[in-house]
Chain A
Amino acid sequence: MEAVAKSYNHRNQPVTALAGVTLHIPKGDFVAVVGPSGSGKSTLLLTLGGMLSPSHGQVFLDGCSLYDLSPEQRARLRRKKIGFLFQTFNLVAYLSAIENVQLPLFLAGMEERDQRVKAESLLERVGLADWLDHKPSELSVGQQQRVALARMPANDPVVILADEPTGSLDPDTSEDVLDFLQELNREGRTIVMVTHYPAAAQRAKRTVKLVSGRIRLDETISTIEPARDGQKDVI
Chain B
Amino acid sequence: MQLRNLVCRELFERRNQLGTSFLAILLGITAIVAIKNVTFYSEKAVAKELDALGANILILPKSATLQGYYSADMQEEEFPEEYVTRLATSDLQGLDNLSPKLCVPIAVEGKSLTLTGILPRNEFQAKAAWQGAGIFARPQGCGTTSIRLPLASKETLVRKRVIETLGEREALVGADVAESLGVKQGDEVKLLGKTFTVIAVLPQTGTVDDSRVFAHLHTVQELAGKGRVVNAIEVVGCCSQISKGLVQKINKLLPDAKVVTITQVVDTQIRTNRMMSHLSGVFLVIIVLVGGASTANYMYANVFERRREIGTLMAMGADSSLILRMFLLKALLLGLAGGIGGYLLGSVLAIALGPRIAGIPVLPMPLLLLWAVGLSVAIAVVASYLPARRAARLDPCVTLQEI
Interface residues of A (CB under 8 A from B): 8, 17, 42-43, 45-46, 49, 51-52, 71-72, 75-80, 82, 84, 86, 90, 92-95, 99, 102-108, 112, 115, 155, 163
A72 B400 Cβ-Cβ under 8 A: no
A92 B320 Cβ-Cβ under 8 A: no
Between B5, B14, B313, B317, the greatest number of chain A beta carbons within 10 A of the residue's beta carbon is seen for B317
A17 B317 Cβ-Cβ under 8 A: no
B317 A42 Cβ-Cβ under 8 A: no
Q: Which of B1, B6, B318, B322 contacts A105 (CB 8 A)?
A: B1
In whole angstroms, what is the CA distance A107 to B46 when docked? 60
B396 proximal to A (CB < 8 A): yes
Q: Known: A90-B308, A112-B1. Is A80-B317 also a contact (CB below 8 A)?
A: yes
Q: How far is the CB of A210 from chain B (nearest CB, A)?
A: 14
Q: How far is the CB of A134 from chain B (nearest CB, A)?
A: 14
A51 B396 Cβ-Cβ under 8 A: yes
Listed by A's residue number, 23 A-B pairs whose Cβ atoms lie within 8 Å are A42-B402, A46-B400, A46-B402, A49-B315, A51-B314, A71-B320, A75-B314, A75-B318, A76-B319, A78-B316, A79-B316, A80-B317, A84-B315, A90-B400, A92-B309, A93-B13, A95-B6, A99-B5, A103-B1, A106-B1, A107-B316, A107-B317, A155-B317
Q: How far is the CB of B373 from chain A (nearest CB, A)?
A: 26
Q: Which residues of B59-86 have CB atoms within 8 Å of chain A's CB atoms? A: none
Q: Which of A45, A46, A84, A99 contacts B316 (CB 8 A)?
A: A84
In whole angstroms, what is the CA distance A80 to B10 when docked? 26
What residues on B are CB-neighbors of A163 within 8 Å?
Answer: 402
What residues on B are CB-neighbors of A86 within 8 Å?
Answer: 312, 400, 402
What residues on A are CB-neighbors of B321 within 8 Å?
Answer: 72
What residues on A are CB-neighbors of B397 within 8 Å?
Answer: 46, 51-52
In the complex, what residue of chain B is closest to A42 when comparing beta carbons?
B402
Add 14 more A-B contacts to A86-B402, A99-B5 (CB < 8 A).
A17-B403, A46-B402, A51-B400, A76-B317, A77-B317, A90-B312, A92-B312, A93-B309, A94-B14, A99-B1, A103-B316, A105-B1, A106-B6, A155-B316
B16 proximal to A (CB < 8 A): no
Leading 5 A-B pairs by shortest Cβ distance: A79-B317, A94-B13, A106-B1, A75-B319, A102-B1
A95 B315 Cβ-Cβ under 8 A: no
Interface residues of B (CB under 8 A from A): 1-3, 5-6, 9-10, 13-14, 308-309, 311-322, 396-397, 400, 402-403
What residues on B are CB-neighbors of A17 within 8 Å?
Answer: 403
In the complex, what residue of chain A is closest to B314 when comparing beta carbons?
A75
Q: Which of A45, A72, A106 contacts B2 (CB 8 A)?
A: A106
Q: Which of B312, B319, B403 contacts A72 (CB 8 A)?
A: B319
What residues on A are CB-neighbors of B313 within 8 Å?
Answer: 103, 107
What residues on B are CB-neighbors of A155 within 8 Å?
Answer: 316-317
Q: How far is the CB of A5 from chain B (nearest CB, A)?
A: 15
Q: Which of B1, B314, B320, B402 contacts A115 (CB 8 A)?
A: B1
Interface SS of B by simple majority = helix
B2 A112 Cβ-Cβ under 8 A: yes
What residues on B are CB-neighbors of A102 within 8 Å?
Answer: 1
What residues on B are CB-neighbors of A49 within 8 Å?
Answer: 315
Q: How far is the CB of A80 from chain B (nearest CB, A)?
A: 7
B317 A104 Cβ-Cβ under 8 A: yes
In the complex, what residue of chain B is closest to A76 when comparing beta carbons?
B317
What residues on B are CB-neighbors of A92 within 8 Å?
Answer: 309, 312
In whole angstroms, what is the CA distance A79 to B6 when docked? 18
In whole angstroms, what is the CA distance A106 to B7 when docked? 13
What residues on A are CB-neighbors of B308 within 8 Å?
Answer: 90
A108 B317 Cβ-Cβ under 8 A: yes
What residues on A are CB-neighbors of B309 within 8 Å?
Answer: 90, 92-93
In whole angstroms, what is the CA distance A86 to B318 when docked? 17
In whole angstroms, what is the CA distance A13 to B196 when docked? 110
In whole angstroms, what is the CA distance A115 to B402 when docked? 29
In whole angstroms, what is the CA distance A17 to B306 when docked? 26
Q: How far is the CB of A81 from chain B (nearest CB, A)?
A: 9
Q: How far is the CB of A205 from chain B (nearest CB, A)?
A: 24
In the complex, what residue of chain A is closest to B13 when comparing beta carbons?
A94
Q: How far is the CB of B91 from chain A (nearest CB, A)?
A: 57
In the complex, what residue of chain B is closest to A77 when comparing beta carbons?
B317
What residues on B are CB-neighbors of A79 within 8 Å?
Answer: 316-318
In whole angstroms, what is the CA distance A76 to B318 when docked? 8
What residues on B are CB-neighbors of A93 within 8 Å?
Answer: 13, 309
In whole angstroms, what is the CA distance A103 to B318 when docked? 10
What residues on A are CB-neighbors of B3 within 8 Å?
Answer: 106
